[in-house]
Structure 1
Amino acid sequence: MSYLTYIFPIAAALCVIYMAWRWMPIFADPFENAREDVPPDEGVETPKRARKALSFSSPEGRITRRDALIALVITLVYAAAAFTGLGRTSSPQSFCKFTERGRYVDIALPEETVVTKIRYFCGLHTGRYSVQLSQDGENWTDAGSLEQSYTEIFKWMDSTEEDYTPGSARYVRLIASDELWLGEIALYGADGERIDASLLEYDAGCAPLFDEQDTVPEEISYLNSTYFDEIYHARTAVEQIEGVYPYEITHPPLGKLIIAAGIQLLGLTPFGWRFAGTLFGALMLPILYSFLKRMLRSTSVAACGTVIFAFDFMHFVQTRIATIDTYAVFFILLMYLFMWRFVSGGKWRYLALSGLFFGLGAASKWTCIYAGAGLAVIWLIYWITRRRREGFWRDFISNCLFCLVFFVALPLAIYYASYYFYGTARGLGGGVGMFFTRDYFDIVWDNQVYMWEYHSDLVAEHPYSSRWYQWLVDARPILYYLERFDDGTKSAFGAFMNPIFCWAGLLAVVANAILAVKDRDGRALFIVTGYLAQLLPWVLVTRLTFAYHYFPCEVFMLLALCNVFTRLRERQPWTANRQMYVFTAACVLLFIAFYPVLTGVRTPTWYTTGFLKWFPSWPF
């Protein structure tokens, strides 16, 4: 690491500390600070607050055409960046399906040649293909094997020196060890060039191995293959499409069904299995903008907050990988938006919508159950603040019954129904009647027991795992992909937060906690409750954890930061505006600077190690 590498994080940390120091006026008593002139673009009411009882009640900011346009522009700019370089749009769609152990295919070469390498695309199921070579098609010699392990599903692979010995042959035979699906294959001759597939002879049954030769890549990378947990979640999505009982059953099914929808729409390609997550990542932005505008009633705060979140590193990277965390955060954002609209305005229809999205989230990932605990705390505090109102018990009991429907019965129904394709894969026939069979209930129940035992008893190690206290300061990113090249460049990317957003957001959560206690600020209490609901369960977890588990907390860190900006604007609008705009610009500039390690763009190693490796624990 060079001296420059130390200068950047130190300077960034000092700027964040200085920014937080300028927040001090928000903690003063209401009339201690004189208010500066109102900026010409947006008026801010002079605070006349006395100490008051805690309440969530708040007038809601109205969404105007201007707001809709700003949110649309931010979303489109983000979507353009997110969908660029997401993955190849072409990949093998047909597979040669070996239905049982011992099934084989024979391939006749145009002439005798040394087959130096075999490149192949792994489909469903795991096992290996034994490779045999022959001069005459009668006498065969073992040449090794091609692996198709669980870590290689929907990946392009090359035969390795350890497992395959090149030899001269006129015929090649592949023998499956188990039921296996194999996509396209390419054979390479003595000169290292790919043998023209149109010159090969083979049975019609193995035609899928050579019918999409244009999909064979020149180089194998994340752009044409699965990486990290895509090997589980993209695989399970395809299994549910194909009627195969899923391999990955450590999370509820809904998130993988959403991935499957993208595959059905765009095909079994890297772009297809990543499409839905990236789309949901883009759709978070107008929802977040609406949340900020309705809660804080400021167009400029909503716009800046949405930009900060849009170009946060974690949001960008995590929504571009075909895993289920994106859907959990998406539904958490919606369930808290509608809970806020309920507690601030009292309309029960928003409570129903909050329950609906809680159900969808819980059926995607259990992380959303943590969010549900936060919703329950907020709901209970809301009713405690109304306990002295006339008709309290009547309204409270009615609302309890209402919540039993929308936060218990409806989520349970969604969760239960999400296992539909598990049932059909077990031969239960489908249809509504399947839900009422004992066999279907057993499938659902047994999976809950399995998930609980798996997550409780998991003992594993990973070089890029991290603990919850490391997430707070961005200390240990998770590296998703790394490839080094001989010319001094590399392709690498991982999931971690924009460091200045991470640090400022954490300080903003602390500031909101102070405001919640000192000023009985309902907004601040709402935000801190949501943040703690997502963080505290991980404090108690002893199993393997990663930086992306902090992703749901970012929603509340952003809300906390924007609430601080809003409170500061009430006291010192010019100071607050300058700070907010400069901070937003700094977040965007850091996104641009770190873009190579967020996307895997091939970059000189001197740049990543000399400028982007801010801490020794950052794996760039």
Structure 2
Amino acid sequence: MAYAVTDRPDTAGGPAPGSALAALRARAPFGWPPVAWALRHAGWTGPVAVALFAGLLRFWDLGHPNAFVFDETYYPKDAWSLLQQGYEGVWPENANGQILGVPQQIPLTSAPEFIAHPPLGKWVISLGEWVFGLHPLGWRVMVALLGTVTVLMLCRIGRRLFSSTLLGCLAGLLMAVDGLQFVMSRVGLLDGVLMFFVLGAFGSLLVDRDQARARLAAAADPGAVRLGPRPWRLTAGLLLGAACSVKWNGAQVLAVFGLLTVVWDWGGRRRYGARRPLRSMLRRDALPAFGSLVGVAALVYLLSWTGWFASSGGYDRRWAEGRAGLSPPRTPVLDLPLPQLPMSWVPESLRSWWHYQAQMYDFNTGLSTPHTYQSNPWSWLVQGRPVSMYWQQVPAGQQGCHSSGGCASQILALGTPLLWWTACAALVYLLWRWALRRDWRSGAVLAGVAATYLPWFQYQHRTIFSFYMVVLVPFLCLAVAQLLGAVLGPPGCSARRRQYGALAAGAVVLSIMACFLFFYPLYTAEVIPMTDWQARMWFTSWI
């Protein structure tokens, strides 16, 4: 698909001749050396500028509120426990008050605690606690950093995907002002960390695709050539393994992205003239892809448990002792009883670890405890039931409340409504582009949507929340950027068509940014009058 603004050359530096950036450079005001330099290196200066804007938003007053926000009551304390003893320990019921109290007390015990998620995300959070201590700033800073870097990555990924710096930066800008990604970048939860690894893997596979096709184009026989080392696909395997080591949702992404990369290999061999492209892909690409992604991911997942293996007190750490070398009685994959097979050749630590995985699987698939803010995946794209992560009603005259009717302070994990509703239309457009025009870019974005969104529909009776969709946000922003690229107009269209397209696309972007600004107080726990809070409750399901 061709876009109105194509300024990313594949092999040369600087904007392509005839592009929008080249036109800007030709004008006199842009001849000033610093501006000319910035335009010449717009492939990096543009994304960095967008990321700095996103970082300013995310780091501003990051330590507020001085409280445990939603599931921060779990993960930051688990992270501190990992930092101190290599495994998650038990905390007393009044631990939150002691941690936030003055003077601070940290009542961590050495007794092991059952934890439902792998440890890597908590290890990431612990890096901030190692620097700043067990305080709100400490357990939020690494998530904010990754949320900011994710915006930079999305700009560069969009640039590569659409061959347009403008559209890449537009995708990053849209994510910078998405309320859900903004909120999840400012709280010490795992989903923002998961998003970082998933998007990094997607970008790595895009680079691998470009490099593989360059080799196929240069090959004398595209059906027989072996593509050799593929470091970017190995990088994707590492990142997908890291995603699985944060939350098991990463396994679904691993499956979809693994299928995506071999389909790209199949298409590449067919495009460059292989006589039997499918057979050639199966013989020369499928097995290396499996090893690079699944094999590497499994190794990373196992290594993420190093702290548990190195300790002696972790949960279930000694489960296999005294069990006569027998295997665990069931498997978390099939949920079927297994015979007691002799397993004396398997180390006790591995058998204990496998049993722990089985218990985690039982918990994650069987959780059905009702929650006020649980919701069905059918409502997620339209933001039908956002999660209130923090709420405090402030009486008049306290904490800066000057309204006689009292005030409210809330953190609502609500995606910027206009962005998400526009994304619904964009997904329909991408489905049309992929199904009827065979647009591989649309297919790539839709694969990301399928990997991060569709698997949740199998959990109709499980307690799940809409903020899980922060992993989906980058792909929604890419979809909207692609739609707005089409609105701008195809190459060769008339000046009037281009003008109308720019006005329409600009109006959409400005409306989304204004919508984010309107809801900003609900993203940052700002104290606002109750009347202002009520004005932002557009639907009763948001309350």
> Is contact 1:304-1:580 (8 Å) kept?
no
> Is contact 2:254-2:294 (8 Å) kept?
no
Aligned to 1:593: 518
- Offset of residue 580 of structure 1: 2.5
Q: Distance in 2 between matches of 1:453 and 1:408?
A: 23
- Offset of residue 240 of structure 1: 0.7
Secondary structure (helix, strand or coil) at the match of 1:264 reads helix
1:187-198 equivalence runs, <5 A: none
Aligned to 1:534: 452
- Offset of residue 41 of structure 1: 5.0
Aligned to 2:538: 614
Secondary structure (helix, strand or coil) at the match of 1:346 reads helix
Question: Residue 427 and residue 465 in structure 1: after superposition, are their counterparts in 2 closer, same or farther (change >3 A)?
Answer: closer
Q: Which has the larger radius of gyration?
A: 1
Larger relative strand fraction: 1
1:319-334 equivalence runs, <5 A: 319-334=185-200
1:542-553 equivalence runs, <5 A: 542-553=461-472
1:151-170 equivalence runs, <5 A: none
Q: Distance in 2 between matches of 1:614 and 1:345?
A: 48
Q: Aligned-residue CA RMSD in angstroms? A: 2.4
1:240-279 equivalence runs, <5 A: 240-243=82-85, 245-246=87-88, 247=113, 249-279=115-145
Q: Distance in 1 between matches of 2:42 and 2:130?
A: 36
- Offset of residue 73 of structure 1: 1.9
> Is contact 1:377-1:529 (8 Å) kept?
no
1:67-106 equivalence runs, <5 A: 67-87=43-63
Secondary structure (helix, strand or coil) at the match of 2:542 reads coil
1:229-378 equivalence runs, <5 A: 229-243=71-85, 245-246=87-88, 247=113, 249-346=115-212, 348-378=230-260
- Offset of residue 379 of structure 1: 2.3
The amino acid across from 2:69 in the alignment is: Y
**Is 1:508 matched with 2:426?**
yes
- Offset of residue 239 of structure 1: 0.9
Q: Distance in 2 between matches of 1:419 and 1:427?
A: 13
- Offset of residue 376 of structure 1: 2.4
Gap regions ≥5 residues in structure 1: 1-22, 24-37, 44-62, 88-221, 431-435
Q: Distance in 2 between matches of 1:283 and 1:223?
A: 23
Question: Residue 591 and residue 438 in structure 1: after superposition, are their counterparts in 2 closer, same or farther (change >3 A)?
Answer: same
- Offset of residue 224 of structure 1: 2.3
Question: Residue 39 and residue 410 in structure 1: after superposition, are their counterparts in 2 closer, same or farther (change >3 A)?
Answer: closer
Gap regions ≥5 residues in structure 2: 4-17, 24-38, 89-112, 214-229, 318-344, 397-405
Larger relative helix fraction: 2
Secondary structure (helix, strand or coil) at the match of 2:50 reads helix
> Is contact 2:252-2:452 (8 Å) kept?
yes
- Offset of residue 315 of structure 1: 0.6
Aligned to 1:397: 283
> Is contact 1:72-1:286 (8 Å) kept?
yes
The amino acid across from 1:616 in the alignment is: T
Question: Residue 394 and residue 317 in structure 1: after superposition, are their counterparts in 2 closer, same or farther (change >3 A)?
Answer: same
Aligned to 1:464: 373
- Offset of residue 528 of structure 1: 1.1
- Offset of residue 566 of structure 1: 2.4
Secondary structure (helix, strand or coil) at the match of 1:491 reads strand
**Is 1:447 matched with 2:356?**
yes
Q: Distance in 2 between matches of 1:395 and 1:513?
A: 26
Q: Distance in 1 between matches of 2:367 and 2:130?
A: 33
Please, what TM-score do these two structures have when normalized by structure 2?
0.74
1:17-28 equivalence runs, <5 A: none
Q: Distance in 2 between matches of 1:437 and 1:449?
A: 17
The amino acid across from 1:270 in the alignment is: P
Please, what TM-score do these two structures have when normalized by structure 1?
0.65
Aligned to 1:121: none
Aligned to 1:409: 295
